Structure 1
């Protein structure tokens, strides 16, 4: 029999503590006032928080990376500040078969006259809302397998990156994404992460996250990851300042494993790949 990894044990321990907190001792009370029940509920919540707070940060993050990689669907809600402006966003994602639908709400531009950027991805084909093609509402672009196969989802990348930091710490238990979660924080230095070799992060995931930070002109960020009692990432937060100015993201995660429906836009409203490329070329 294979030994159970410490990371799995950590998540199991948290889940068990939460279950015990929710169920109490198993003895059923036959009488009691509303005040008694309120006290019991608060005690259960306190026990759950204590279990989250007591968990080892590194072990918990490594376990969250493993469990996060097992999730096939999830949803996000977030906000972002970068050189391009301030945005709020929402998305729904499916790992296999590969599909996603993302909406960004931000500044009004020529490309997004109403401030909405709406992207739908089905396997290697991406669709985006547009006002640039007469008679059409969507453009089409062939990614041609541009996304690295088996690359981890963003929240998994961030949990793994945080696990590599030298100043990793727990800052307490908070409500994130609508549920109680342990908040872990550390500093990611891009040059140090680029050279990282260890079991907390795969090389291809490390390179993907490093490239993402470099694209924003960042040399270091403060990274926060919240992990709930089920061992799943509830929230991620990045904050930094680089050559392109201030940068920050906050995303809440929910709906892990729930059914999702992601469809391509109506063909009658969608420009073909050639028409889309020609329209893009004219804009340049």
Structure 2
């Protein structure tokens, strides 16, 4: 399986890897003014209380040896009654090529179902969906698959916003309407080394490696009157390549339905698929 372009992987890592001091610019929570750093902390806390949401995502990468790349899609997430995520990627471009048909992944517990024309061809499968247990994926034979699944599986609203709490220069820059909600716009940067310390310890080394060439990541956060993050953007650079990621969040704590695909459409992911020749 081909590797994602460096800037594309960099952007995905910044999004999914996912408390600090800051400038004294203020935002507003209801009628209460908060220092910008405190407002970001409050937003991270509220994000951690969310049990379900949906999000629209766009990641653009430019420059670098592999050329431009883009990922565009949506996510539906729930933490109760069990952890489940449904990720649809309508557009996937890397190495200057489009992935035909995009991809979709459904995570329920420790099981992942993947629908991808490219992966189906690569694995020699006969059914549209492939199923695998995260714990059963071989560390060597399925490393490329596992890397992508780990990134998608670790995506969560709380982790994304928590990265921002390590900022030392965050400030409020105005108010805007996002998704029909009035929000306060905050802007700043967060240091990668410190951000790695606030995420899941099992993912710290992965984040450091993927963002090893980036000292600071620029971010913008739009939080509503309840401190819920309505929009987050992240951007950074690596050896002349850049990434820009935008996530729009909605449907907080609303009922969602995430179900496995029909059994007759599902086959098992081979443990050692034949080389793709790429």
Residue of structure 2 aligned with 1:223, choices 206, 215, 219? 219
Q: Give the C-alpha shift of residue 161 in structure 1.
A: 2.4
Higher helix share: 1
Contact 2:76 2:86 in 1 (8 A): yes
1:182 aligns with 2:184: yes
- Specify the alignment match of 2:100 in structure 1: 113
Match of 2:193 in 1: 191
TM-score by length of 1: 0.68
Deviation at 1:207, TM superposition (A): 7.3
Structure 1 CA distance for aligned equivalents of residues 52 and 109 of structure 2 = 15
Q: CA deviation at 1:122?
A: 0.8
Paired position in structure 2 for 1:91? 75
Cα RMSD, aligned residues only: 3.1
Note if 1:60 corresponds to 2:39: yes
1:118-158, Cα deviation, whole Å (9 max, x unpaired): 1111111111113324431011121129999xx98633233
Q: Any conservation in 2 of the 1:183–1:224 contact (CA below 8 Å)?
A: yes
* Structure 1 residues not aligned, in runs of 5+: 1-12, 18-50, 197-202
Q: Does the alignment pair 1:245 with 2:236?
A: no
1:171-223 residue CA offsets vs partner (Å, 9 max, x unmatched): 111122331111111112223445x6xxxxxx444874774464255332101
Match of 1:75 among 34, 37, 54: 54
- Please tell me whether Structure 1 or Structure 2 has the larger radius of gyration of its CA atoms: 1
* Equivalent-residue separation in structure 2 for 1:183 and 1:219 (angstroms): 23
1:142-181 correspondence to structure 2 within 5 Å: 142-144=133-135, 154-181=156-183
Choose which of 127, 130, 135 in structure 2 pairs with 1:139.
130
Q: How many residues align?
A: 223
Once residues 106 and 203 of structure 2 are traced to their aligned partners in structure 1, the CA distance between those partners, rounded to angstroms, is 21
Report SS of the residue matched to 1:55. strand
- Alignment CA distance shift 1:271-1:120 (3 Å): same
CA distance in 2 between partners of 1:152 and 1:144 (Å):
15
1:95-134 Cα distance to aligned partner (Å, 9 max, x none): 13011111112246899422x1111111111111133244
Q: Does the 8 Å CA contact 1:173/1:182 hold for their aligned counterparts?
A: yes
Task: Tell me: CA distance 1:14–1:130, structure 2 relative to 1, closer, same or farther (3 Å).
Answer: closer
Q: How does 1:28-67 map to 2 (within 5 A)?
A: 54-67=33-46
Q: Secondary structure at the match of 2:267?
A: coil
Counterpart contact for 1:140–1:271, Cα < 8 Å? yes
Kept in 2: contact 1:85–1:106 (CA 8 A):
no
Cα separation, 2, equivalents of 1:154 and 1:119: 15
Compared with structure 1, are the counterparts of its residues 92 and 250 closer, same or farther at alpha carbon in structure 2 (3 Å cutoff)?
same
Corresponding residue number in structure 2 for 1:36: none
Q: Judging by fraction of residues, say which structure has more strand.
A: 2
Distance 1:188 1:213 in 2: 13
For 2:191 and 2:217, the matched residues in 1 are separated by: 7
Q: Is the 8 A contact 1:186 1:222 kept in 2?
A: yes
